[in-house]
Amino acid sequence: MSASNTDFVLAVEGLTVSFDGFKAVNDLSFYVDKDEIRVIVGPNGAGKTTVLDLICGRTKSTEGSIKFRNKELTKMKEHQIVRAGVGRKFQTPSIYGDLTVFENLEISFPRGRSVFGALAFKRDAEVLNRVNEIADMIFLSELLESRADLLSHGQKQWLEIGMLLIQDPELLMLDEPVAGMSVSERRQTAELLRRITKDRSVIVIEHDMQFVAEIADKVTVLHQGKILAEGSAEEVKADPKVIEVYLGH
Amino acid sequence: MSYEGLRSLLPKSDLLGFAVLALLLVVVLPLSLDIFRLNLIGKYLTYAFVALGLVLCWGYGGILSLGQGVFFGLGGYAMAMFLKLEASSPENTAIQSTPGIPDFMDWNQLTELPWFWEPFHSLGFTILAIVLVPSIFAYIIGVAMFKRRVGGVYFAIITQAVAAILTILIIGQQGYTGGVNGITDLRTLKGWDIRTDEAKYVFYFLCVFMLFVCLLIAQFVRKSKLGRLLVAMREMEDRVRFSGYDVSNFKIFVFCLGSAFAAIGGAMFTLQVGFMSPTFVGIVPSIEMVIFCAVGGRLSILGAVYGTLVVNWAKTTFSESFPELWLFAMGALFIAVVMAFPNGLAGLYNKYAAPHIEKLLGKVTGKSNNAKATVGTQGVAHERQ
Ligand SMILES: Nc1ncnc2c1ncn2[C@@H]1O[C@H](COP(=O)(O)OP(=O)(O)O)[C@@H](O)[C@H]1O
Ligand SMILES: [Mg+2]
Domains of chain A: 10-247 (3.40.50.300)
Give the bridge partners for A221, in sequence order.
A41, A229
Q: Among A17, A41, A50, A203, say which to mutate for ligand 1: greatest number of ligand atoms within 8 Å of CB.
A: A50
- Write the Ramachandran bin of B143: left for phi over 0, alpha for psi from -120 to 50, otherwise beta: alpha
CA A235 / ligand 2 centre spacing (Å): 23
User: What pLDDT was estimated at residue B275?
Assistant: 95
Distance from CA of A240 to the nearest CA of B (A): 38
CA A152 / ligand 1 centre spacing (Å): 27
Work out how many CB contacts closer than 8 A connect A with B: 93
- Which atom belonging to ligand 1 lies closest to the Cα atom of A20? 4
Q: Among A16, A40, A41, A49, say which to mutate for ligand 1: greatest number of ligand atoms within 8 Å of CB.
A: A49
CA A50 / ligand 1 centre spacing (Å): 6
User: What pLDDT was estimated at residue B361?
Assistant: 74
Contacts of A87 in chain B (CB under 8 A): 242
Identify whether B134 is part of a domain: yes
CA B162/CA B165 separation, integer angstroms: 5
Domain extent at residue B85: 3-374
User: What pLDDT was estimated at residue B178?
Assistant: 94
CA A37/CA A232 separation, integer angstroms: 11
Distance from CA of A190 to the nearest CA of B (A): 23
Residues 6+ apart with CB under 8 A from A94: A160, B236, B238, B239
CA A47 / ligand 1 centre spacing (Å): 6
Identify whether B340 is part of a domain: yes
At CA B115, angle to CA B166 and CA B263, rounded to 5?
40
How distant, in Å, are the alpha carbons of A56, A207, B224, B376 from that of A90? Answer: 11, 15, 27, 29
Residues 6+ apart with CB under 8 A from B51: B289, B292, B293, B296, B304, B305, B307, B308
Q: Are B131 and B268 in contact (CB under 8 A)?
A: no
User: What pLDDT was estimated at residue B341?
Assistant: 85
Q: What SS3 state is found at A107?
A: helix
Please judge whether A123 and B380 are an interchain contact, meaning their C-beta atoms are less than 8 angstroms apart.
Answer: yes
Is the overall model pTM greater than 0.90, yes or no?
A: yes
DSSP 8-state symbol, A100: B
CA B84/CA B66 separation, integer angstroms: 29
Distance from CA of B242 to the nearest CA of A (A): 6
CA B32/CA B23 separation, integer angstroms: 12
User: What pLDDT was estimated at residue A147?
Assistant: 96
Residue ranges of chain A whose pLDDT lies below 50: 1, 3
Please judge whether A96 and B249 are an interchain contact, meaning their C-beta atoms are less than 8 angstroms apart.
Answer: no
User: What pLDDT was estimated at residue B370?
Assistant: 42
CA B338/CA B345 separation, integer angstroms: 12
The total number of structural domains that make up chain B: 1
Burial B147-176 (b: 16+ CB within 10 A, else e): eeeebeeebbebbbebbbebbeebbeebbb
User: What pLDDT was estimated at residue B364?
Assistant: 66
Burial B344-363 (b: 16+ CB within 10 A, else e): bbbbebbeeeeeeebeeeee
User: What pLDDT was estimated at residue A207?
Assistant: 86
Please judge whether A119 and B221 are an interchain contact, meaning their C-beta atoms are less than 8 angstroms apart.
Answer: yes
Q: Are A93 and A162 in contact (CB under 8 A)?
A: no
CA B181/CA B176 separation, integer angstroms: 12
Distance from first CA to last CA of chain A, Å, rounded?
38
pLDDT in tens, chain B (385 residues): 577 778 888 888 889 999 999 999 999 999 999 999 999 999 999 999 999 999 999 999 999 999 999 999 999 999 999 999 999 999 999 999 999 999 999 999 999 999 999 999 999 999 999 999 999 999 999 999 999 999 889 999 999 999 999 999 999 999 999 999 999 999 999 999 999 999 999 999 999 999 999 999 999 999 999 999 999 999 999 999 999 999 999 999 999 999 999 999 999 999 999 999 999 999 999 999 999 999 999 999 999 999 999 999 988 888 778 878 887 888 888 888 888 888 899 988 888 888 888 788 777 665 444 433 333 333 333 333 2
User: What pLDDT was estimated at residue B60?
Assistant: 95
Residue of B nearest to A79 (CA): B244
Q: Residue by residue, what is the 3-state secondary structure of chain B?
A: CCHHHHHHHCCHHHHHHHHHHHHHHHHHHHHHCCHHHHHHHHHHHHHHHHHHHHHHHHHHCCCCCCCHHHHHHHHHHHHHHHHHHHHCCCCCCCCCCCCCCCHHHHHCCCCCCCHHHHHHHCHHHHHHHHHHHHHHHHHHHHHHHHCCCCCHHHHHHHHHHHHHHHHHHHHHCHHHHCHHHCECCCCEECCEECCCHHHHHHHHHHHHHHHHHHHHHHHHHHHCHHHHHHHHHHHHHHHHHCCCCCHHHHHHHHHHHHHHHHHHHHHHHHHHHCCECHHHCCHHHHHHHHHHHHHHCCCCHHHHHHHHHHHHHHHHHHHHHCHHHHHHHHHHHHHHHHHHCCCHHHHHHHHHHHHHHHHHHHHHHCCCCCCHHHHHHHHHHHHHC
CA B385/CA B376 separation, integer angstroms: 15
**For B236, which of A94, A103, A121 is closest by C-beta distance?**
A94
Distance from CA of A163 to the nearest CA of B (A): 8
Distance from first CA to last CA of chain B, Å, rounded?
17
